């Protein structure tokens, strides 16, 4: 194993070159098989750590720990105790935030400018869920039963959660699971993506440092097809909160039939971003561009299908191409970097494959279109890429690319834009750029997607939340209904007679 010398930070336990274990029952644990796998820095292709390669036996150990913790003292913590705990976590995460952001940048490539910016979001999310902890209530219901019978519902924690998340933003992705677990009194086994596990392991340690009983939060690292599949199938898991591709989502549904697990599925997208001729292009051009290019296009709700009214297509494409070319792509540790690498060689090959197919299908290359070489040749970098004159039935407009690739698709009127926007198997994000209120309302009502942004793109607040429809999955993240998914309704009938 070669480890990039300048990244080794002796004070950082994750970049010291020693193998890292799972996190089970409050401590680090090697894989029971003894196997490890390498994890890389996608900006350089170099190995940054060796992680435990989990399989069914490690998942079983972690689920056993999570079950024992659920049945143990944690299950008797009051809502106030869970809230106060989350306050302590808020303080600790704030204190360690720079370290977490740097770790995430080295592990998955996103620029430090982006990962550092997550501070407010994550701290807000922690306080949001701390508020949720003391807001769990049931209802007393009138009934028409004979005699005097009192009826009420209580909401009880579901039990052991399996949290399976992707690599594109684990610092945030894990909080969509941990927040609900810790507010509700559930316990969890997390399976981060094989390409980005470090911030999840580190967070589990910080939670224990803040006073979390052992076994409440466990992390098993490893591959999706082994560790992930075992977690999805395990009969001791009551619910799976999954974020990832639609293809894997289908496998999670199949695995859930073993014990009829509850599921939350946040899946892929091919979101429409619609720019009308009356839009303020000074806002719409950078807004639509960053709606695709942020995180190098590796965002589930990326607005990759940019529908532009035909009368402004030429101007829009010229301006957005200039914007794309000016973006600074590079190693995320450089504070000036705006776009980092793709996560892996596999993802790079996939994105380049789509780029190769686009022109063959008749799309016009308006910017980018190539892998970046020179000083960045060892990493997985591609240029921000724009195709214009794309048709909605081309592969690049139908399939999720998960790279910095924008498809500009012209339209003539609102009805056509709405029809094309909805002509997709997905329903995650969407946006409309216009100054016309009636157009805003027609589009907001007509678009079939979990979120409609108007004159902005990609804003998410933990207390508002977001979700999807169609093949983008079901369940919401954040918002006041999210916690319901970690609770089940228990009805009590008391006969006074």
- Which residues are near ligand NAP by CB under 6 A? 164-168, 191, 193-195, 223-225, 228-229, 232, 243-245, 248, 251-252, 266-269, 300, 400, 402, 428, 468, 472
Tokens at 275, concatenated: 């720019």
Q: Which stretch binds Mg ion (CB under 5 A): 97-105, 180-188, 189-197, 248-256?
A: 189-197
* Residues 15 and 333 sit within 8 Å (Cβ to Cβ): no
Q: Which does 168 bind (CB under 5 to 8 A by kind): Mg ion, ligand NAP, none?
A: ligand NAP
HSE (side-chain half, CA atoms, 13 Å) at 265: 26
> Which member of 46, 53, 194, 266 is catalytic?
266
Judged by CB under 5 A, the chain residues 194 through 253 that form the site for Mg ion are 195
Residue with the shortest CB distance to ligand NAP:
224
* Residues 338 and 327 sit within 8 Å (Cβ to Cβ): yes
β-bridge mates for residue 40, sequence order: 47
As measured in angstroms, the least distance from the Cβ of 466 to ligand NAP is 7
416 carries an active-site annotation: no
- Report the residue number, 126 or 229, with the smaller CB distance to ligand NAP: 229
Q: Which does 14 bind (CB under 5 to 8 A by kind): ligand NAP, Mg ion, none?
A: none
Strands (E), 295-401: 305-309, 364-367, 385-388
As measured in angstroms, the least distance from the Cβ of 12 to Mg ion is 15
As measured in angstroms, the least distance from the Cβ of 46 to ligand NAP is 19
As measured in angstroms, the least distance from the Cβ of 279 to ligand NAP is 26
Tokens at 204, concatenated: 């589990």
- Report the residue number, 46 or 107, with the smaller CB distance to Mg ion: 107
As measured in angstroms, the least distance from the Cβ of 129 to ligand NAP is 17
User: How far apart, in whole angstroms, are the C-alpha atoms of residue 343 and residue 346?
Assistant: 8
Q: What secondary structure letter does DSSP report for 457? A: -
β-bridge mates for residue 371, sequence order: 382
Using CB atoms within 10 A of its CB, is residue 134 exposed (0-12), middle (13-18) or buried (19+)? Answer: middle
Q: Which does 243 bind (CB under 5 to 8 A by kind): ligand NAP, Mg ion, none?
A: ligand NAP
Using CB atoms within 10 A of its CB, is residue 187 exposed (0-12), middle (13-18) or buried (19+)? Answer: buried
Q: What secondary structure letter does DSSP report for 227? A: I
- Report the residue number, 69 or 449, with the smaller CB distance to ligand NAP: 449
Q: Which does 90 bind (CB under 5 to 8 A by kind): Mg ion, ligand NAP, none?
A: none
- Report the residue number, 29 or 300, with the smaller CB distance to ligand NAP: 300
Phi/psi of residue 49, each to 5°? -165, 155
Q: Which does 164 bind (CB under 5 to 8 A by kind): Mg ion, ligand NAP, none?
A: ligand NAP
Instruction: Count CB neighbours of 391 within 10 A.
Output: 15
Residue with tokens 């979390």: 212
Interface pick for Mg ion out of 58, 107, 238, 400 (rule CB under 5 A): 107
Q: Which does 107 bind (CB under 5 to 8 A by kind): Mg ion, ligand NAP, none?
A: Mg ion
Tokens at 434, concatenated: 């216009």
User: How far apart, in whole angstroms, are the C-alpha atoms of residue 96 and residue 389?
Assistant: 47
254 carries an active-site annotation: no
H or E stretch at 392: none
- Report the residue number, 112 or 443, with the smaller CB distance to Mg ion: 112
Nearest to 164 by CA among 215, 100, 232: 232
- Report the residue number, 107 or 238, with the smaller CB distance to Mg ion: 107
Nearest to 206 by CA among 114, 95, 67, 54: 95
> Which member of 300, 361, 416, 456 is catalytic?
300
Question: Is there binding between residue 39 and Mg ion (CB under 5 A)?
Answer: yes
Residue with the shortest CB distance to Mg ion:
107
Question: Is there binding between residue 104 and Mg ion (CB under 5 A)?
Answer: no
User: How far apart, in whole angstroms, are the C-alpha atoms of residue 339 and residue 105?
Assistant: 11
Question: Is there binding between residue 44 and Mg ion (CB under 5 A)?
Answer: no
Q: Which does 429 bind (CB under 5 to 8 A by kind): ligand NAP, Mg ion, none?
A: none
Nearest to 181 by CA among 219, 234, 146: 219
- Report the residue number, 136 or 217, with the smaller CB distance to ligand NAP: 217
Catalytic positions, please? 266, 300
């Amino acid at each position: 194993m070669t480890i990039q010398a300048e990244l080794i930070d002796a004070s950082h336990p994750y970049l010291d070159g020693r193998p890292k274990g799972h996190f089970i029952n409050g401590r680090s644990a090697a894989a029971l098989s003894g196997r490890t796998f390498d994890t890389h820095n996608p900006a350089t292709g170099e190995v940054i750590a060796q992680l435990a390669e989990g399989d069914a036996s490690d998942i079983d150990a972690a689920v056993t720990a999570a079950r024992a913790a659920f049945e143990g003292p944690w299950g008797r913590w009051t809502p106030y105790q869970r809230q106060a705990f989350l306050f302590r976590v808020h303080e600790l995460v704030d204190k360690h935030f720079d370290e977490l952001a740097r770790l995430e940048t080295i592990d998955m490539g996103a620029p430090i400018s982006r990962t550092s910016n997550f501070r407010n979001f994550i701290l807000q999310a922690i306080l949001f869920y701390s508020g949720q902890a003391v807001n769990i209530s049931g209802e007393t219901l009138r009934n028409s039963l004979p005699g005097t019978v009192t009826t009420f519902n209580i909401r009880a924690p579901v039990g052991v959660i399996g949290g399976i998340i992707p690599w594109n933003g684990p610092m945030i992705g894990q909080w969509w699971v941990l927040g609900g677990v810790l507010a509700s009194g559930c316990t969890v086994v997390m399976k981060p993506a094989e390409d980005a596990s470090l911030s999840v392991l580190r967070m589990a340690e910080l939670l224990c440092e803040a006073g979390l009983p052992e076994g409440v939060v466990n992390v098993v690292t490893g591959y999706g097809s082994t560790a992930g599949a075992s977690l999805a199938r395990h009969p001791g898991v009551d619910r799976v909160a999954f974020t990832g591709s639609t293809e894997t989502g289908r496998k999670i549904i199949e695995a859930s039939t073993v014990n009829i697990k509850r599921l939350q599925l946040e899946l892929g997208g091919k979101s429409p971003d619609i720019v009308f001729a009356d839009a303020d292009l000074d806002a719409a051009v950078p807004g639509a561009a960053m709606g695709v290019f942020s995180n190098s296009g590796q965002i589930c709700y990326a607005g990759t299908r940019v529908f532009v009214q035909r009368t402004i297509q030429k101007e829009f494409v010229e301006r957005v191409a200039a914007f794309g070319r000016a973006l600074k792509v590079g190693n995320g540790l450089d504070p000036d970097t705006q776009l980092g690498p793709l996560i892996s060689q596999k993802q790079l090959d996939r994105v380049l494959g789509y780029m190769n197919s686009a022109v063959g299908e008749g799309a016009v290359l308006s910017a980018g279109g190539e892998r970046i070489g020179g000083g960045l040749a060892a990493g997985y970098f591609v240029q921000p890429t724009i195709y214009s004159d794309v048709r909605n039935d081309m592969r690049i407009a139908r399939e999720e690319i998960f790279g910095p690739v924008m498809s500009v698709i012209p339209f003539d009127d609102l009805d056509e834009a709405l029809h094309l926007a909805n002509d997709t198997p997905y329903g995650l994000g969407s946006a409309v750029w216009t100054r016309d209120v009636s157009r805003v309302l027609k589009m907001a009502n007509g678009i079939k997607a979990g979120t409609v942004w108007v004159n902005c793109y990609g804003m998410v607040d933990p207390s508002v939340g977001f979700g999807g429809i169609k093949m983008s999955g079901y369940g919401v993240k954040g918002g006041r209904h999210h916690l319901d998914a970690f609770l089940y309704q228990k009805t009590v009938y008391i006969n006074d007679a």
